């Protein structure tokens, strides 16, 4: 399952995601991975969460990113949750390309894994094909 945390810059998406990760780290039976385009979350996440900086691996664009995520999942069958912060930075702001990536990630994770992605844009700008994936995000924007 793929879900999105959507909102403009500075609206609390990353904090919401960090809270979700740390709560999940206390109860999940499997491994949790957080992927971001820098190491800003190093001191925000519990030590049991694997934090990966895509810049260390020179990942650029959605095609490379998909291969990267597939490799991470193939390397550890115990991963149950993947959190991705700032996907539009990796995909250069391409919202239509994001739709294709999400379709591929949905197939990749099947029903066994959960992928939560922060998307920094106005919820109204989200392509129609992925609006149904929007998750509760900000205090003024609840969906769950």
Percent of the chain with pLDDT over 70: 93
Cα separation, 31 vs 81, whole angstroms: 7
Report pLDDT for 135. Answer: 64
Which range is least confidently modeled, 12-16, 23-27, 33-37, 130-134? 130-134
Domains detected in the chain: 2-133 (3.40.50.300)
In this predicted structure, the answer to whether residue 137 has a pLDDT above a threshold of 70 is no
Cα separation, 128 vs 35, whole angstroms: 25
pLDDT digits (tens, 9 = 90+) for 63-110: 999 999 999 999 999 999 999 999 999 999 999 999 999 999 999 998
**Farthest-apart Cα atoms in the chain, separation:** 38
Q: Identify the DSSP state of 131.
A: G
Report pLDDT for 78. Answer: 96
Please, which pLDDT band fits residue 114 given cuts at 50, 70 and 90?
Answer: very high
Q: Are 108 and 141 in contact (CB under 8 A)?
A: no
Q: What is the mean pLDDT of residues 36-49?
A: 87
């Amino acid at each position: 399952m793929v879900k999105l945390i959507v909102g403009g810059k500075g609206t609390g998406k990353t904090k919401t995601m960090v809270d979700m990760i740390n709560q999940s780290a206390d109860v999940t039976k499997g491994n949790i991975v957080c992927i971001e385009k820098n190491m800003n979350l190093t001191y925000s996440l519990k030590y049991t969460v694997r934090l990966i900086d895509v810049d260390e691996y020179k990942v650029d664009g959605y095609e490379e990113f998909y291969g990267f995520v597939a490799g991470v999942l193939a390397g550890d069958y115990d991963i149950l949750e993947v959190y991705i912060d700032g996907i539009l930075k990796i995909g250069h702001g391409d919202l239509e390309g994001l739709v294709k990536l999400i379709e591929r990630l949905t197939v990749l994770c099947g029903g066994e894994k959960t992928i939560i992605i922060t998307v920094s844009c106005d919820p109204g700008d989200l392509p129609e094909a992925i609006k149904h994936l929007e998750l509760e995000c900000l205090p003024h924007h609840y969906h769950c």
